[in-house]
A and B are shown apart, each in its own frame.
Chain A
Amino acid sequence: MKDDITREDRVDALGGMGCKRKRVEDARFTQGKGNYVDDIKLPGMLFGDFVRSPYAHARITSINKEAALAIDGVVAVLTAEDLAPLGLHWMPTLAGDKQMVLADGKVLFQGQEVAFIVAKDRYVAADAVEMLDVQYEELPVITDPYEALQSDVVLREDLDTNVPGAHGPRKHHNHIFTWEVGDEPATNQVMDDAEVVAEESMYYHRTHPCPLETCGSVASMDKINGKLTLWGTFQAPHVVRTVASMLSGIEEHNIRVVSPDIGGGFGNKVGVYPGYICSIVASIVTGKPVKWVEDRMENLMSTAFARDYWMKGKISATKDGKITGLHCHVTADHGAFDACADPTKFPAGFMNICTGSYDIPVAYLGVDGVYTNKAPGGVSYRCSFRVTEAVYFIERMIEVLAIKLNMDSAELRRINFIRKDQFPYKAALGWEYDSGDYHTAWDKALKAVDYDGLRAEQAQRVEDFKAGKTRKLMGVGLSFFTEIVGAGPVKNCDILGMGMFDSCEIRIHPTGSAIARLGTISQGQGHATTFAQILATEIGLPADSITIEEGDTDTAPYGLGTYGSRSTPVAGAATALAGRKIRAKAQMIAAYLLEVHDSDVEFDVDRFTVKGAPEKFKTMKEIAYAAYNQAIPGLEPGLEAVSYYDPPNMTYPFGAYVCVMDVDVDTGVTDIRRFYALDDCGTRINPMIIDGQIHGGLTEALAVALGQEIAYDKQGNVKTGTLMDFFLPTAWEVPNYETDFTVTPSPHHPIGAKGVGESPHVGGVPCFSNAVNDAFRAFGLTHTNMPHDHWRIWKTANALGLHD
């Protein structure tokens, strides 16, 4: 081979880690050739649609199917009564509770599934939905968790208060669990002894992940072969297969679950919904494929809300601002069924990361889960389990403490950061942070935005405001977050008993291309692009020659799916390790071909060379061919590997965000003048994709902070059921973001990567919220709740006397 090809050229030719590889997914999406659930069309397919409860709490006195069944084209009307003989009228939730698939005697939230109409198409189904006669007797409605804990009204009549729930004893018939972490007496002691204590109550409102594609499924029961195929919007297809098998009694090998292209997930598509179950049952009953796709109102009303945490905090410090302790209590509104998508042992997810990026010696967290007449869910909306809540809590508490101390909050953060030399750092609430360099990141961020300059400008603005020269205040929002992503480890993280490992299986083809299959599933994160990059670097074949396949349980190895930014930390590691197994075998093949000892060859980009004689080499392409075309003594033919990766720890990405915002105190209108985001996600696999993830996550954070909510009235009616009222910003409402980074690789991860998709959301929400709060700091505000929409900002300004 000629020498004019440099080593760098060879690296470039791979398109491996670190390069801005263009996405392989894009060709089909830009040409309208994606294959999403609603695109699936099977011969004879029927369509299922729900009749839903108009009431938030009511007893069902009768259901009369006659008029609905009389409509031409209606094939079946299923109710709880029909599902009961199969034991499918209830289903287990991910949180150890159970949930009605179809209303069993009563309804507990508006939009609850009451009956499933199966018809020849969606038009007939919609007509039949109108015609189903359901009689209700209204019951008292509870939408407030504090009220729920006092009320005589029993929401869950199916549960016995004397019998412990999945997470221990229940204190009241509307109580679900108490979860405690840390040392409460010691924390209280610290608070009692402290020089300064700041307290605040905050409500992290209920919202919804609302991916652009709603949830849906197509079930096809092949009665001849006894095989069930289920396509659906599943962020965790293997778990769905296992659950479907346990519920239906169909053996797992006879079930194939496929996640086709998914139009965004953000946590919405982790759970198992009644629609999935009903489409399966309907297909079994009718012998025909059955499609169910929810509409947007159904999506917002019934599937998977996020947040709804009432948090009370106390933080103590010395006079100079060294934090001494943190106390947090959460009243968690879980709605009618506890369907939170958290690892089994963590009923409040990783809320106990709420000590944040700070060295806090003593802390306590207590969480009480409560039933109300609201939709079930409690998913991680673009974050690891409840981490957005935790980070919002601590980043607000820091600001509240800074106010109490009359101190600059950037400085307060700086003096309390966990220092670089303290990693691995054992936090007071149990987590061991793998790595971090917070001071460097913080200094870089503050310098980039000219922090002192911003504060000076802000001070001038306050003067101008007081002098009547402007009606706009300026807020400088800061946030420094530490995420905790990449669940497992299996020893403490499981979903319905399945350990949270992940997997990768690689096959190298004779001509030097490859296919790798993973247990995860992309919903826009670009796995087909980035996992190929990881592999390209690991095995020395070009990324363009590697196909990545996910989402088909018949072919992919078992994995726990994609959410909580776990794909790169877990499946990415599995990919790297499977790649290394390939490389190990390739080394033996290379040594045989080069007629030297195994230990005398070494890997170099895309080949093995003889140590000390780089002109003698075999490329990975040649090695792949050799693996199939000649008998190598002592080696099996072929070149394949599988790796199941159980992470030794989570990874802890972090970042520093700054938001500069103008707030019109009269109209409540906010204007984001600048947003700077520095992220440290360890090793950067594809900077282009990382930036894209950050833009998207920040935009979702902006929405949540500035207006997006699932709001209920006192009767339990959803007030924000369409995209008119449920705030999804358009291009017009969104700023340009400046992105930046530092790199602190994870010490325990095979390639040092930490995961990034959710960081911008986790760090973004408190940053936007802090900006609004900060704008009013000079006028005596300590805290105001999100969402900071126009009227709430106006109300805050009004309460501060700014309209007088």
Chain B
Amino acid sequence: MIPAAFEYYRPTDMDGVLAILAEHGDDARVLAGGHSLIPMMKLRMAEVPHLIDLQDVGGLKGITVEGGTIRLGAMTTQTEIIGSDTLTAAAPILREASLQIADPQVRYMGTIGGNVANGDPGNDMPGLMQCLDATFHLIGPDGTRYVAARDFYEAAYMTDREDDEVLTAVSFDQPVGGYAYEKQKRKIGDYATAAAAVQIVKEGGKCTSASIAMTNLSDTPIYSQEAGAALVGTVVDDAAMDAAVAAMLGDIDPTEDNRGPIEFKRHVASLILRRAIARAWSRA
């Protein structure tokens, strides 16, 4: 399992990155933690003649919570997310989800930017970002543009990001209410059989808003607007849950793999969502 040879660059600023991207087009790729890209390169399933390491590029790290907005620099690692008390106080769902990703060593290297930019339907952060209605900050030759996480994913490994763009940060409004990230997997180190991200707001005993996104149940993460809507205005009783689950099932499109056949995945998706809603509601 040895990758093909490549040219390696370690620019120290974004201009440097963009220049290399401009020069080599889709022959160039950026490298963050490398824990999705390097395994693919080792299997020679990804060929990257020009590899641009982002580790020394300034301004890509860090977590800020300001004026109700949370911003995570693209190079923030999962370990840093888990370890940030500020972030955990502001948006505890990030820690809960991150702890369910891979293992300690992988979390030390894996970044939020790589996780959302990768486009692998197995990644957990994209669904979470959709749940939080996050915005992705992309910088390219023409400057910065902002794309909603909910509009970003097109198909497996296909995103709205152009080859000459770099994701610099994700940001989202500080979530309110209850939260839960539920994930079923076969073992530590496995991607989800099914996972659900839920944020719920409760006012006067009723749900006033709910956001639901599912992971690894389609070729993109699935933000199920209708599932969330099904909870709004209810006391999140069985009927409301049934409706939310039914709506979610209408949105996902899982495929069979070693984690199981389609019917099983749909079943687990329902269950996971029920549990996530219940837990989020109990915390709301």
Contacts and interface: CB of A to CB of B under 8 A. Distances in A.
A790 B260 contact: yes
Interface string A700-724: 0000000100010000000110011
B187 A794 contact: no
A297 to B, nearest CB: 7
Contacts of A795: 261, 264
B190 interface: yes
A732 B185 CA distance: 13
Contacts of A130: 4, 44
B184 A803 contact: no
B4 A127 contact: yes
B180 to A, nearest CB: 16
B102 to A, nearest CB: 11
Interface string B52-88: 0000000000000000000000000000000000000
A727 B187 CA distance: 8
B186 A790 contact: yes
Contacts of A707: 186-187
Interface in B1-16: 1-2, 4-5
A725 B193 CA distance: 12
A640 interface: no
A790 B190 contact: no
Contacts of B272: 667
A790 B193 contact: yes
Contacts of A126: 1-2
Nearest to A664: B271
A803 B258 CA distance: 22
A727 B186 contact: yes
Nearest to B1: A295
Q: Specify the main secondary structure of chain A where it touches its partner.
A: loop
Contact of B186 (A122, A666, A719, A789): A789
B162 interface: no
A720 B2 contact: no
Contacts of B258: 711, 719-720, 725
B189 interface: yes
A737 B272 CA distance: 30
B267 interface: yes
Interface residues of B, number: 24
Contact of A730 (B5, B189, B263): B189
A724 B190 contact: yes
Contacts of A719: 258
A462 B106 CA distance: 41
Nearest to B265: A791
Contacts of A798: 263
A120 B271 CA distance: 54
B259 interface: yes
Nearest to A719: B258
Interface size of A as a range: 20 to 34
Contacts of B4: 127, 130
A669 interface: yes
B275 to A, nearest CB: 9
B263 to A, nearest CB: 8
A803 B267 CA distance: 10
Contacts of A790: 184, 186, 193, 259-260, 264, 268
Contact of A794 (B2, B44, B267): B267
Nearest to B122: A724
Contacts of A720: 258
B103 interface: yes
Contacts of B267: 666, 794, 803
Nearest to B103: A730
A733 B187 contact: yes
Contact of B1 (A297, A723, A789): A297
Nearest to A707: B186
Contact of A724 (B1, B189, B261): B189
A130 B4 CA distance: 9
Contacts of B189: 723-724, 730
Interface string A760-804: 000000000000000000000000000001110011001000010
A791 B187 contact: no
A122 B2 contact: yes
A729 B2 CA distance: 26
Contacts of A794: 260, 264, 267-268
A723 B258 CA distance: 12
Given A126-B2, A725-B258, A732-B187, 16 more contacts: A297-B1, A666-B268, A667-B184, A667-B268, A667-B272, A707-B187, A720-B258, A723-B189, A729-B187, A732-B188, A789-B186, A791-B260, A791-B261, A794-B264, A795-B264, A798-B263
15 contacts: A668-B264, A707-B187, A711-B258, A724-B189, A724-B191, A725-B258, A727-B187, A730-B103, A730-B188, A733-B187, A789-B260, A791-B261, A791-B264, A794-B264, A803-B267
Nearest 3 Cβ contacts at the A-B interface: A791-B260, A126-B2, A791-B264
